[in-house]
Amino acid sequence: MAAAPARAQPEHHAVDSTDAASRQVDVLAQGLTQLAARLAQELQGLDGDGRLRRAVVDIPDARSRLDAVATLMEQAAHTTLDLVEQAQHEVRELRQHDDPDVVARADRLRDTVLQVAEAQGFQDLSGQILGRVNRILESMHDGLQDLIVRAGLTPPSAADASPDDALAGPQVAGLQRHDTASQGDADALLEDLGL
């Protein structure tokens, strides 16, 4: 029978270590709960001033403006190339002239016009750069939106957009928040006012 307490000994130890383990789990769980609560609080505070929401709403607006810049530049380059082609046509006729001095001048003019055409290459290069910035903005927007959803923050709405500047600047298709006037509208308005 002397062996009995000896057998009980390890059992007792086992109960002890189970208790210790469960106490450790309790402490860990408590710590984790506190950490989670603090994290939730921090995350709520993360967008306390609504800057993340505003960014999520403003970024698509900024992207539309970049697209508008790319379109304006492309149109300008096409307009310039139209004029280049007209000038080249004139120059070709001038080069058939009898007066060698006129032909020499036409040759110089031909080089100048060609350089104008070359210079329009800016549109391709700046368009590629704008496209890259636009893709960066897109992934920033998606990342922020994802963060807001995962953190359970207030989802953004149109009301979060940055307030309009008093001077809206150039009109961007699809982004006019106010009635905009054409030159004709402005003339009519001024005429009504006696100007």
Helix H or strand E encompassing 176? none
Among 85, 99, 107, 146, binds another protein (CB under 8 A): 85
Question: Of the ranges 20-28, 33-41, 97-105, 125-133, which one interacts with another protein (CB under 8 A)?
Answer: 125-133
Among 110, 130, 147, 161, binds another protein (CB under 8 A): 110
Helix (H, G, I), strand (E, B) or coil at 154: coil
Cα angle: 59, vertex 61, 67; to 5 degrees: 105
Q: Is 130:63 a contact under the CB 8 Å cutoff?
A: no
The binding track of 145-174 with respect to another protein, each residue x by CB under 8 A or -, is ------------------------------
Handedness of CA 165, 169, 170, 171 (dihedral sign): positive
Among 121, 143, 152, 155, binds another protein (CB under 8 A): 121
Question: Of the ranges 56-64, 123-131, 136-144, 175-183, which one interacts with another protein (CB under 8 A)?
Answer: 123-131
Among 74, 94, 137, 145, binds another protein (CB under 8 A): 74
122 binds another protein (CB under 8 A): yes
Query: Which residue is listed with tokens 């505070």?
Result: 45
Q: Which residues bind another protein (CB under 8 A)?
A: 74, 77-78, 81, 84-85, 88, 110, 114-115, 117-125, 127-128
